[in-house]
Amino acid sequence: MDIYVSNLSPFIVNEDLNNHFSRYGVVSSANVIIDKFTNRSRGFGFVTMPNDTEAEKAIQEMNGSLIDGKTIAASQARPREEKPGRSYNNRW
């Protein structure tokens, strides 16, 4: 199960995310999303846990918990919604 984690401190790295969630079971991957222009954390990330029961327990326990002084939010990740594209050709 993929877990969406938001409101992360800008100082949290993949290893930190992995360490916090591995308390509840096996973590396949933990990725803090980095802005490609500033090379800084965008304040959210994803954790993948292969066992759904462990993932649900992690979501329950981690949602609303403090990491590095910030209250994080954790929920089951949903597929990204398609946003209508901007067309710059019609501006002029």
Mean pLDDT for 17-39 is 97
pTM, two decimals, is 0.85
Is residue 46, in this structure, part of any structural domain at all? Answer: yes
Asked if residue 71 has pLDDT above 70, the reply is yes
Q: Under a CB-based contact definition with an 8 Å cutoff, are residues 59 and 47 in contact?
A: no
Q: Minimal CA–CA distance to 32: which of 83, 79, 67?
A: 67
Domain span at residue 49 reads: 2-76
- Our count of domains for the chain comes to 1
Is residue 15, in this structure, part of any structural domain at all? Answer: yes
Is residue 39, in this structure, part of any structural domain at all? Answer: yes
The predicted-structure confidence for 29-50, as pLDDT tens digits, reads as follows 999 999 999 999 999 999 999 9
Output the pLDDT for position 85: 65
Is residue 88, in this structure, part of any structural domain at all? Answer: no
Is residue 16, in this structure, part of any structural domain at all? Answer: yes
Output the pLDDT for position 88: 56
CATH number at residue 19: 3.30.70.330
The predicted-structure confidence for 74-88, as pLDDT tens digits, reads as follows 999 998 777 776 655
Is residue 81, in this structure, part of any structural domain at all? Answer: no
